[in-house]
Amino acid sequence: MSTTEKKRELEHRARLLEALACSLRERGLRATQIADIVRLAHTSRRTFYECFADKETCFVELVREATTRLLATIEASIDPAAPWEAQVDRAVDTYVQALAEDPAMIATISRELPALGLRGAAVQREGIERYAALVVRLAASGRMVQAGVRKLPLQAAVMLVGGINELVIHAVEHGESLDTVAAVAKDVIKAVLRPA
């Protein structure tokens, strides 16, 4: 595949993912058809199938890319010279703010990912592990170590992140503000990291 062909394929892929995101916000995954995606992306069904095996594969990739972007945003938002408590606050605030900016997408992901069965569970687990790895990395950073915060094993970080994920799903399903999730997440993370 030439560089031009590869570039074109990446452009089509990006347009299809954005089209799926638009359709998900309006209709959800179940009601979205491949015809809707290609119409919004201004591509053909053939192009869709050159990029993705099916609608669910496209959805999984959309979730993975959203996770990658949000992780990068969180990490970039943190001032490594700030006090450790401020770093925790900033990380949680950035995460919750990003979720609050796209409530329809968060609702769709929280409802539809589990409906994919083992495939959805694997993607959810992968996301939790990636967020947990970020928490471990941040807890081991210079300012955190200087402040004497507790070293956080990956398993503990998975438990924290998994719990926060469940709080987000609960809030979304019950139409509650994500601000309550932020407050609880900050308190729990600080309690776990607090120097002995």
Both 43 and 67 in one domain: the answer is no
State both tokens at 9.
Answer: 């394929």
Selection from 119, 6, 113, 32 nearest residue 66 by Cα: 113
45 contact partners, CB below 8 Å, separation of at least 6 = 34, 35, 38
Domain that holds residue 29: 1-52
pLDDT of residue 4 exceeding 90, the answer is no
Both 187 and 175 in one domain: the answer is yes
Global pTM reads 0.90
pLDDT number for residue 89: 97
What 8-state DSSP symbol labels residue 35? H
Both 85 and 173 in one domain: the answer is yes
Both 85 and 150 in one domain: the answer is yes
**For the chain, percent of residues with pLDDT exceeding 70:** 99
118-167 pLDDT per residue, tens: 999 999 999 999 999 999 999 999 999 999 999 999 999 999 999 999 99
Both 20 and 66 in one domain: the answer is no
Sign of CA dihedral 122, 69, 42, 13: negative
47-57 pLDDT per residue, tens: 999 999 999 99
User: CATH number, domain at 64?
Assistant: 1.10.357.10
Both 110 and 172 in one domain: the answer is yes
Number of domains in the chain: 2
- At 194, the amino acid letter reads R
